[in-house]
Amino acid sequence: MKLRSWSLAAALALTALVAPAQSASAHAAAAPSCPDGSVCFWSGEGFGGDYWEWTARSGYRDMPPNLHDHVGSFVASTRACLVNWSPTEKRDVFNGDWRSQYLGDFGGRIDGVGAGGC
């Protein structure tokens, strides 16, 4: 019985050590801000690398060459439609959406972005 009590105490102590590290990691992974009416794109995952800000008032735009088929992360502060032209695929993004790891998903196929829903 004493061995069981010690195991429970050890597990609780380990949980106390690990829990703060998890909350610190979650806080560090928070998305950066992006101006209202924009979608901000980064070439690297984790909001690093080349940066481009698209604004809804600019209408449809092809992705710049450094981000064409190479969006590693994004933050949306407006509704927009992400487009791949061949084959034609579209993805709606909404105000408040963000992805820190998008390159292995649709970020590896994005050709352009337009205002409003798809």
Domain residue spans in the chain?
1-29, 38-115
pLDDT digit string, tens, across residues 3-21: 444 443 444 343 343 344 4
> pLDDT tens digits, residue range 23-32?
333 344 688 9
pLDDT digits (tens, 9 = 90+) for 48-85: 999 999 999 999 999 999 999 999 999 999 999 999 99
What separation in angstroms does the CA of 71 have from each of 7, 15, 41, 102? 47, 36, 6, 7
User: Whole-model pTM?
Assistant: 0.76
SS3 101: coil
CA atoms within 13 A on the CB side of 11: 6
Alpha carbon distance 96, 52 (integer Å): 17
| Fold of the domain spanning 38-115 | Gamma-B Crystallin; domain 1 (2.60.20)
Helices (H), 29-117: none
